[in-house]
Chain A
Amino acid sequence: MKSTFTGLAILTALLLSWGLYQALVIAPTEQTMGDVQRIFYYHVPSAWTAFILFFINLIASIVYLANRSSKADALALAAAEVGVVFCTVVLVTGPIWARPVWGIWWTWDLRLTLTLVLWLIYVSYLMLRRFSSGGQTALIAAVLAVFGALDVPLVYFSIWFFRTQHPQPVMGNGGSIDPRMLHALLINWAAFSCFAALVLWSRFRLEVLRRNLEQTQALEELLQPRSSR
C-alpha cells in the first residue's frame, strides 16, 4: 500500500512538472488572448477533476445508503472535500482568465455556472455534515448527495436553454485547437487526476484512521468502569 502511494506521488510530481513545462513553454501562445490563456490548462482539468470527484461522492453515498458501510461514508466525505477544493480552483481561475480576455469577471457560461451550482451544493453538503448532531450524519448527508446529483441534469438543461434565449459570451478556446495545446491539456489533465487521486487517498486514509481512533476510544470508555454520579 505504502509503495503504491509513493509510486503515485512520484508519478504525480513528474506529471505536474511536465504539465507545467508543457503549459508554460511548449504550448504556443494563443493568438487573440495571449499568455493569459495558459490558465486554461489548469482551469479545464480542475473542472473535470472536480466533476469526477463529485461523481465518486455520489457513488459512495449510494453505496452507503445500500449497506451503511462506514468506509463508503468516509470516501464520500473525502471526495466531497477534495472536490470542493478543485471546484474552487475552477471558480477562481475562471474570472482571472475572463477579465483580461473578455473584459468581464463573470459570464453565465455553461461550464462555469454548472461548476458554481455544484460548488454551492457541495459546500452545503459539507456544512450539513459539520452542523449535524447525532449519529445519523452519514445518512442525511448521503440523502443530500442523491438530491444534489438529481439536480445536476436539471441545472444543465436550465442553463443550456437560458443561454439559447440570452446569448452570452462564450468562455473557452473557440473552435479548433492546436494539437500542441491539446497535448498540454491532456497531460495536465492526467497530472491533475493523479494529484486528485493522491489527495483523495490521503484524506480517505486520514478519515478512516480518525474513525478507528474514535471507535477504539469509545470501546475503552465502554470497558472502563464508570463512576456513578
Chain B
Amino acid sequence: MAETAVITVADLVKQFGRFAALRGVSANFAPRRLYALLGDNGAGKTTLLRSLAGLTPPTRGRISVLGTTNLRSICSRIGYMAHPSLLYDEMTGIENLRYFARLYGIEGDRRCRQVIGAVKLDPALSRPVGQYSQGMRQRMSLARALLNDPEILLLDEPFSNVDTASAREMSALLGQMRDGGKTVFVVTHQALLLEAVADEFIWMEAGRIARRTASLEPGEQT
C-alpha cells in the first residue's frame, strides 16, 4: 500500500551563480520516517535541507511539502535546526524559547519547559546559552525546533562537535519523535549515530541522490 508522500521533490536544481549545488534531485519521502542524509562536503545536503525549509528558493524544479508548493503556508508545521544555534547567546535557554514560542503564537512557559525537558536539559538553568557546552547548545537548539510540535523536522548536522553521550541521547530522542508520528530528516557526517533509528539512508553525491538504502552496509560508515 503506497503512502502519500509527505515531501516530493521533482528535478530540483539550485545554482549559486555558476556553481550548481543541486543538479536535478527527484525523490518522494514518506511520512513518519527518519531519513539520514549523508554524503561528502559539497554534495548538496545542506542546500537540499534549506530548500525543504523554504529558506532557499529553487532555481528550477518543484518542491511539494505537506501537499503544497507554497512553503510559507505550512511553515508552522516545520521545525528547522542548523549548525549555528539559532539562539541568542545572551539569554538563558528558557528566555530564548519563550521568545521563539511567541513567534509561533505559543504563550506561557509550559510548552517551553516541556521541550527543554524532552532534550534532557534543565529549564531552570540561568546560564546564558553562550556559556553552554556545544552539546547543550545543540540540544537547546533542537528544543527550539520542537516548540511548535512540527510534523516535519529538518536537522542539519545536529551532532557536530557534540560529545558522544549527548549525541546518543539526541539520536534516541529523534527515534522517539519518529515513533510519535513525525517525519525527520537529519543531515550528518556521522551515519553510525543514526544506525539504530534511521529508516532510510540517503546518499548524496555531487548534487544528486546517488542511492537510498534501508541500512548501513559495512564500510559505509561515513
Residues on A lying within 8 angstroms of B by beta carbon are 134-135, 214, 217-218, 221-222, 225-229
Least CB distance from A158 to B in Å reads 39
Q: Are B41 and A229 in contact (CB under 8 A)?
A: yes
CA distance A136 to B23 in the complex (A): 20
A96 to chain B, nearest CB (A): 43
- The answer to whether B43 has its CB under 8 Å from any CB of chain A is yes
- Tell me the B124-165 residues at the A interface (CB within 8 Å): none
- A218 contact from B18, B40, B205, Cβ within 8 A: B18
Chain A residues, CB < 8 A from B205: 228
Residue B82 at the chain A interface, CB threshold 8 Å = no
Could you count the A-B residue pairs with CB atoms below 8 Å apart for me: how many are there? Answer: 31
How near does chain B come to A51, taking the closest CB pair, in angstroms? 34
Q: Which of A221, A222, A227, A229 has the most CB of B within 10 A?
A: A222
Q: Is the CB of B20 closer than 8 A to any CB of chain A?
A: yes
| Residues in A whose Cβ lies below 8 Å from that of B13 | 222
Closest to B205 in A: A228
Residues of A within 8 A of B42 (CB): 229
Return the contact of A221 from the options B20, B24, B43 (Cβ within 8 A): B20
B206 pairs with A225, CB closer than 8 A: yes
In the assembly, what is the distance between CA of A214 and CA of B16, in Å? 11
Chain B residues 1-28 with CB under 8 Å of chain A are 13, 15-20, 23-24
Asked if A222 and B20 sit within 8 Å, CB to CB, the answer is yes
Chain A residue numbers with a CB within 8 Å of B20 are: 218, 221-222, 226
Interface residues of B in 183-222 (CB under 8 A from A): 205-207
Q: A225-B206, A226-B206, A228-B205 are in contact. Are A218 and B17 (CB under 8 A)?
A: yes
B39 to chain A, nearest CB (A): 9
**A225 (CB) vs chain B CBs: closest residue:** B206
Measured CB to CB, the closest approach of chain B to A181, in angstroms, equals 52
If A135-B16, A217-B18 are given as contacts, then 18 extra A-B residue pairs at C-beta distance below 8 Å, sorted by A number, are A134-B16, A214-B17, A214-B18, A218-B15, A218-B18, A221-B19, A222-B13, A222-B15, A222-B20, A222-B23, A222-B24, A225-B206, A226-B20, A226-B23, A227-B206, A228-B43, A228-B205, A229-B41
